[in-house]
Structure 1
Amino acid sequence: MKKTKITYWITTGIFSAMMLFSATMYFTSPQMAQTFEHLGFPDYFRIELGIAKIIGVLLLLAPFTGRLKEWVYAGFTINMISGSIAHAALGDPTSATLTPLVFLGILAASYVTYNKLDEEIEPTFVKQLIASTS
């Protein structure tokens, strides 16, 4: 369990840091605004996506399990795939197309270890709950 927990926190930390960095850039970098324009997205979408990423990171790092956490992973997955497709469709450099996929791999590692930890913790919690009610 210790290795799983370490892997979870490293992958989740790396991914979260990158999402916070990109969200910050969405608000502060004129170059990022030009990138959104180049991709054909309206300027308000850049702001919405920045806010969504910050909220997603907060929920990803929050100490709870359940359906909402699953939706956070799904939202980030859609974001990474969509970003890669958008860059590829416009013929952007390979690095712009592959970077979101690399972070999707890191997110996948976080998700797999999150589920392993949840499976390891849940039976223990259920056993404790049953023992306390008997």
Structure 2
Amino acid sequence: MKTTKIIYWITTSLVFLMEGVLPALTSQTEMAKEGIRHLHYPAYFGNALVVFKVLGSLALIIPFVPKRIKEWAYGGFAFDFIFASISLFAVDGVNFQSFFPLIFLAILAASYSCYHKLNAVNALAAA
């Protein structure tokens, strides 16, 4: 159980840092704006992404957020990673950068799996 908790907090912290903290700090840089333009998205789409990424990452990292909200956050990030990869494949073709979101999808999947294992153990302990 200790290993599951460690894996959960490491993977969830990585998602929090890469999807919450980093976009919040860098979303208005010229490089971030160019990334949105490069994928042929309108400028406002980048701002909307940042807002939802920060809210979703906070939902994942704060322990007392309701389970249903966490499920929506996990789902939102899964869609984000999948569609980011599809967008990169469509614009840039097959290269490492196009697979990078799928690496984070695997990290998110590990966090999600550990989250449910911890919830099952907590439910058994409460019963």
Identify the residue that residue 118 of structure 1 maps to in structure 2.
119
Unaligned runs of 5+ in 1: 128-134
2:120 is the alignment partner of 1:108: no
Match for 1:22: what amino acid?
Answer: P
Moved over 3 A (4+): none
Unmatched 5+ residue regions in structure 2? Answer: none
The aligned counterpart of 2:77 is 76
Q: Structure 1 residues 65-74 or 91-100, which shifts more?
A: 91-100
Tell me the SS of whatever aligns to 1:120: helix
Q: Structure 2-normalised TM-score? A: 0.92
Quick check: 72-81 or 84-93, which moved more?
84-93
Could you tell me how far apart the structure 2 residues matched to 1:57 and 1:92 are?
29
Task: Give the TM-score normalised by structure 1.
Answer: 0.87
Query: What is the CA RMSD across the aligned residues, in angstroms?
Result: 1.3
Structure exhibiting the larger radius of gyration computed from Cα positions:
1
User: Does the 8 Å contact 1:24/1:50 carry over to 2?
Assistant: no
- Separation in 2, partners of 1:41, 1:23: 19
- Aligned residue in 2 for 1:89: 90
**Distance of 1:42 and 1:68 partners within structure 2:** 28
What percent of counterpart residues are identical? 38
